[in-house]
Amino acid sequence: MNLRKKTWMVLGLIFTVTMAWAQEPSAWKTLEKPLNFYLANDLGRNGYYDQKPIAEVMGKMAETIDVEFVVAAGDVHHFEGVRSVDDPLWLTNYELIYSHPDLMLPWYPILGNHEYRGNTQAVLDYSNVSARWQMPSRYYTKVIEEDGTTIRLVMIDTSSLLDKYREDTAKYPDACKQDMDKQLAWIDSVLAVAREDWVMVVGHHPIYADTDKDESERSDMQKRVDSLLRKHDNVDMYVCGHIHNFQHIRKSDSDIDYVVNTSGSLAREVKPVKGTLFCSGATGFSLVTVDKNELCLYMMEKNGEVLHTVRRSK
């Protein structure tokens, strides 16, 4: 091998290593607030693509920042969901991937459309198997308090709210069995009494987004979910996944930040639409930090760089 080729190989290796940890832990530390958590979704690729490297970055960042839990916004399992609590996919999509000691945290999941292709009850029942998998119901709410700061998470089951899934009984057999009106009434009732410092609604499907997915998904979400969010003047963010890219959208007639979190394994291209403040086809996850005066959602690329910040202040 000639000297020039060796030189380029060494330079390439240095560049690769530098890019892998481009963000220093000291820079991550500056993002920390009294309450910090991750948002991750569209994960399950058996460790392939960027899933393992992103899981490693999440663990490394949690060594520096006091991350308290993970919000898993659906599609932890591709492609046909799981068959039972003993399905090997629990190991290859989840347990063996997010194995860093600092990721042994509570995980608060919701169902995505891919979970609805399999045994949805098994996803809930896995809470009886794993100490960190905490999913009490298909939709639920949690209030977290830290140093006098409170945030309410309203975790909703969006697949069962969309006609596309309810009508496809062969592929999504459980969707039509869920009482849509009951869930919508529950969302309304929870938001009606939410008095926390911050309110974040978490679903799998977007309300507004650039995507080639069926337009009916967004129209159903706008009609059924967004109408409720706008009815109550206390929702700060609606966050979701499903589209496999980062998007931050604001509508002129709403004070809500609509956030699409990217895939933690395999991403897709994206372009701006009306109301887009930021978009990126990078893989990664989001870090959310909270104090009494500020709620920040940092869109983190797979190497730990902050691509965009969604910031709300009191």
C-alpha span between 133 and 190 (Å, rounded): 23
**Exposure of 91 in the CB half-sphere (CA atoms within 13 A):** 3
- The one-digit pLDDT tens for each residue of the chain (314 residues) are 443 333 333 333 333 333 344 578 999 999 999 999 999 999 999 999 999 999 999 999 999 999 999 999 999 999 999 999 999 999 999 999 999 999 999 999 999 999 999 999 999 999 999 999 999 999 999 999 999 999 999 999 999 999 999 999 999 999 999 999 999 999 999 999 999 999 999 999 999 999 999 999 999 999 999 999 999 999 999 999 999 999 999 999 999 999 999 999 999 999 999 999 999 999 999 999 999 999 999 999 999 999 999 999 99
The H-assigned helical ranges of the chain are 3-20, 25-29, 51-64, 89, 120-125, 163-167, 180-193, 215-221, 227-231
C-alpha span between 299 and 309 (Å, rounded): 6
Q: What is the pLDDT of residue 24?
A: 80
The amino acid at 102: D
Q: What is the pTM of this model?
A: 0.92
Beta carbons within 8 Å of 264's beta carbon, 6+ residues apart: 40, 41, 42, 43, 50, 51, 54, 55, 283, 284, 285
Q: What is the pLDDT of residue 1?
A: 44
pLDDT digits (tens, 9 = 90+) for 153-182: 999 999 999 999 999 999 999 999 999 999
Question: Nearest 5 degrees, angle CA 150-CA 237-CA 306?
Answer: 95
C-alpha span between 70 and 60 (Å, rounded): 14
